[in-house]
Amino acid sequence: MKFWQKSLITAAFTTAAMAQAAEVNVYSGRQEELIKPMLDQFSKDTGIKVNLITGKPDELISRMQSEGRNSPADLLISTDVGRLHRAEVQGLLQPVDSKVLTDAIPAHLRDPKQQWFGLTKRARPIMYVPGKVKPEQLSTIEDLADPKWKGKICVRSSDNIYNQSMVAALITQIGEEKTQAWANGFVKNFAQPPKGGDRDQIKAAAAGVCDIAIANTYYLGGMFDDASDKAAAEAVKVFWPNQQDRGAHINISGAGVAKYAPNKAEAIKLLEYMVKPQSQSWYAVTNHEYPVVADVKWSQRLESFGQFKAEQVQLSTLGELNAKAIQVMDKAGWK
Which amino acids are annotated as binding site for Fe cation, given as ranges?
A: 218-219
Binding-site residue numbers are: 218-219
Maximum C-alpha span of the chain: 90
**Amino acid identity, position 143:** D
CA distance 256 to 42: 17
CA distance 308 to 298: 12
CA distance 132 to 263: 54
Q: How many C-beta atoms lie closer than 10 Å to residue 63's C-beta? A: 15
Kindly state the DSSP code that residue 297 receives in the 8-state scheme: P
Q: In angstroms, what CA-CA distances link 72 with 43, 170, 276?
A: 18, 37, 26
Q: Which residues make Cβ contacts (< 8 Å) with residue 92, sequence separation at least 6?
A: 61, 64, 65, 76, 258, 259
CA distance 204 to 20: 51
81 with 165: CB under 8 angstroms?
Answer: yes
